[in-house]
Amino acid sequence: MRVSGYVQGVFFRSETRARASSLGLAGWVCNERDGSVTAVFEGPRERVESMVAWCRRGPSGARVDDVEVSWEEPERLDGFRVR
């Protein structure tokens, strides 16, 4: 997924990692040069959907303007990382 808006410098990545880890999801999150944040989540669909819903709001201090979601086959990632 790609999250656009005021999403860098507001702990978006660290809170995403904490929430994804608490849900037992694998994947990664990273800042993009255009100011957006990209994330990949793998795990049970209802938990992934919970993360997507949270990303539509983001942490306090963030302003989410747009979220693009695409569903793909899992890559069998291990753990959740900030890139």
For the annotated catalytic residues, the residue numbers are: 13, 31
Q: 3 exposed, middle or buried (CB, 10 Å; 0-12, 13-18, 19+)?
A: buried
Beta strand segments in 1-83, E: 2-6, 26-31, 37-42, 63-68, 80-82
